[in-house]
Amino acid sequence: MSDAASSRLVLLTGATGFVGTHAAHHLIRQGYRVRCLVRPTSDRSRLPESIELAEGHLLNYGSLQKAVKGCWGVMHVGGVVRVKEVRDFYRINRDGTSNIVRAAREAGAERFLLCSSQAASGPSTPDRRRRADDPSEPVTEYGKSKLAGEEALKSAAGEMWWCIVRPPAVYGPWDTAFLTLALWIKRGIKLRLGDGRMPFAIIHVVDLARAMQMALEASQPSGATWFATDSADHTMRELTGYFEHEIGRRAISLTIPLWAAPVVASSVDMVAKLSGTIPFLGRQKLAEFIQPAWTCDDEPFRKATGFSEMYDLASGIADTVEWYFQNGWL
């Protein structure tokens, strides 16, 4: 623990979510004082006991003013990934970001980190990783809303130091998205869209928490946008292979051909609309899965901060599956 860290109060948004929970624990371990913005109905059971709580919402500006008071920095992880109505992406990911940036600037916070998404930048090509300074080409409303959040930060930050971290797919303990894949494999089936060879980037959630903390402390000038990954490119064939090994089950491939995927996605959207639920694999998500590649270049981030991953994909899946078993999720 450094003396500097122990004197710094960081406001963390999205703290009760998957990534935010890990960020809260990591910041505490690093010696920071942490205040978490939480809604009155949020489950706080996974948060460290030593954190402060500030009840509020990204669309309630008065609550944000109170939450950010006296903070050295803000780590903005809060946002939505799935919604019933498209406008909710923009209300939270764009307007909510604008609100917390303005509140932080007015309160005199020194630093602001936005956890955005690779979806804001758009896909890559199989032979070239996307770079942070490439023109952004998001293919979903989620990605467009995250890009709008980035633009809101740039517009509202003023003289406050800021940076953006764009993580790719994130996995690890407490994650429910990859749990679905693990549960199917345990049943003996591995679902696959297309041939499973699309290259993509990924990062373990513990490494993402470390990356965000290192970015918040970076000595670089204000205004950087960085990718953070485990440094390698992967495929679904590789990913499911590691899950099979750790679960101890050889699964049969159930492949959805790309030509049939739009029909499946439309059906999922229709069922979700009729039932009032949020689809997991609808047309928006499909737009990401059918891209040629989702790789990105994180070398600038490594050079700027000294970051290196603790988990490669093999050890990360082993850690995740072990946690699933220990906690009764598998």
Confidence of residue 271 (pLDDT cuts 50, 70, 90): very low
- CA gap 163, 114 in Å, rounded: 6
pLDDT score at 197: 86
Q: Name which of 237-246, 273-282, 321-330 the model is least confident about.
A: 273-282
Tokens of 74: 């803000």
Among positive and negative, which fits the CA dihedral 64, 67, 69, 75?
negative
The secondary structure of 251-286 as a DSSP string is PEEEEE-TTTHHHHHHHHHHHHHHHT---SSSHHHH
pLDDT score at 191: 76
pLDDT score at 279: 45
Confidence of residue 272 (pLDDT cuts 50, 70, 90): very low
For residue range 8-20, list pLDDT tens digits in order.
999 999 999 999 9
- CA gap 162, 113 in Å, rounded: 6
Confidence of residue 278 (pLDDT cuts 50, 70, 90): very low
Q: Is the pLDDT of residue 273 over 60?
A: no
The share of the chain scoring above pLDDT 70, in percent, equals 88
For residue range 88-118, list pLDDT tens digits in order.
999 999 999 999 999 999 999 999 999 999 9
Where in the chain does DSSP place strands (E)?
Answer: 9-13, 33-38, 52-55, 73-76, 111-115, 161-166, 169-171, 189-193, 202-204, 224-227, 252-256
Query: Architecture of 3-175+200-233+294-310 per CATH?
Result: 3-Layer(aba) Sandwich (3.40)
pLDDT score at 64: 98
- Amino acid present at 104: A
258: left (phi over 0), alpha (psi -120 to 50) or beta: alpha
Q: Name which of 60-74, 123-137, 243-257, 310-324 the model is least confident about.
A: 243-257
pLDDT score at 253: 85
- Mean predicted lDDT score pLDDT of the chain: 90
pLDDT score at 62: 97
- Contact at 8 Å (CB) between 65 and 42? no
For residue range 131-177, list pLDDT tens digits in order.
999 999 999 999 999 999 999 999 999 999 999 999 999 999 999 98
For residue range 22-46, list pLDDT tens digits in order.
999 999 999 999 999 999 998 999 9
| C-alpha to C-alpha distances, 203 to 12, 290, 291, nearest whole angstrom | 20, 21, 19
Confidence of residue 226 (pLDDT cuts 50, 70, 90): very high
pLDDT score at 82: 83
The separation between CA 319 and the C-alpha centre of its own chain, rounded to angstroms, equals: 18
Q: Where are the domains of the chain?
A: 3-175+200-233+294-310
Could you tell me which residue, 276 or 174, shows the higher pLDDT?
174
Q: Is the pLDDT of residue 260 over 60?
A: no
